[in-house]
């Protein structure tokens, strides 16, 4: 199963993106990474690593893995957590990156007070662009599941199988990647609840 951890900083990502995408898209992605880094500030991943690494991993999944190139999808991939995890507003996102990016990010943002399962289940009605962002986001989160405590691993595995994997049929690369991921992690199904 392929993992996507070779772009830990914008400098690493930019060189690869320059070979795969138009300069204008690379420029917009650089602005999005800088914006996300400012908004997320000192936030860290559960592993203690800087949060921006997750955003770059999701971008690497989208570009180097799935071969996505649509500007709005890629920018939304970088910004997918700013509405949920920072004070940033949808209006601010729309001003900075356009209404399509802001709408896509809103789709993948869990509303305050909403149960996670309900939010994930609602993604079956999401536009294709938002589903591609969620698939890239979750691939980043689950590709190295072994780094998390076992209870987290079990919960995240179950959520991914129940709610995210059914969305993967939208794109052949994601369908294949998630199928390989499930084969690798199927042993988690035997763990006690």
Distances (CA, A) of 99 to 49, 93, 104, 108, 179: 31, 8, 9, 15, 33
CB 13, CB 56: distance < 8 Å: yes
Distance of alpha carbon 173 from alpha carbon 179, whole angstroms: 10
Asked about 85 being catalytic, the answer comes back as yes
Catalytic residue among 85, 90, 92, 103: 85
Distance of alpha carbon 71 from alpha carbon 81, whole angstroms: 17
The DSSP bridge partners found for residue 44 are: 50
Distances (CA, A) of 68 to 3, 54, 117, 128: 16, 18, 27, 12
Distance of alpha carbon 182 from alpha carbon 94, whole angstroms: 36
Distance of alpha carbon 186 from alpha carbon 188, whole angstroms: 5
Catalytic residue among 14, 53, 84, 90: 84
> What phi, psi does 50 have (nearest 5°)?
-55, 140
Q: Within 1-127, where are the H helices? A: 10-20, 23-40, 51-60, 71-79, 82-85, 90-97, 99-107, 116-122
Active site residues: 84-85
């Amino acid at each position: 199963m392929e993992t996507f951890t070779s772009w830990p900083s914008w400098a690493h990502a930019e060189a690869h993106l320059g070979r795969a995408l138009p300069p204008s898209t690379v420029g917009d992605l650089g602005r999005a990474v800088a914006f996300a880094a400012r908004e997320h500030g000192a936030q860290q991943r559960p592993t203690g690593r800087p949060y921006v690494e997750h955003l770059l991993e999701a971008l690497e999944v989208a570009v180097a893995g799935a071969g996505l190139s649509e500007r709005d999808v890629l920018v939304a991939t970088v910004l997918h957590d700013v509405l949920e995890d920072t004070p940033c507003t949808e209006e601010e996102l729309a001003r900075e990156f356009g209404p399509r990016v802001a709408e896509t990010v809103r789709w993948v943002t869990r509303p305050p007070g909403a149960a996670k399962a309900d939010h994930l289940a609602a993604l079956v009605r999401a536009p294709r662009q938002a589903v591609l962002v969620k698939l890239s986001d979750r691939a980043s989160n689950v590709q190295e599941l072994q780094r998390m405590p076992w209870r987290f691993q079990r919960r995240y595995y179950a959520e991914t199988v129940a709610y995210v994997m059914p969305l993967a049929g939208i794109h052949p690369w994601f369908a294949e990647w998630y199928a390989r991921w499930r084969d690798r992690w199927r042993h988690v199904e035997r763990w006690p609840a």
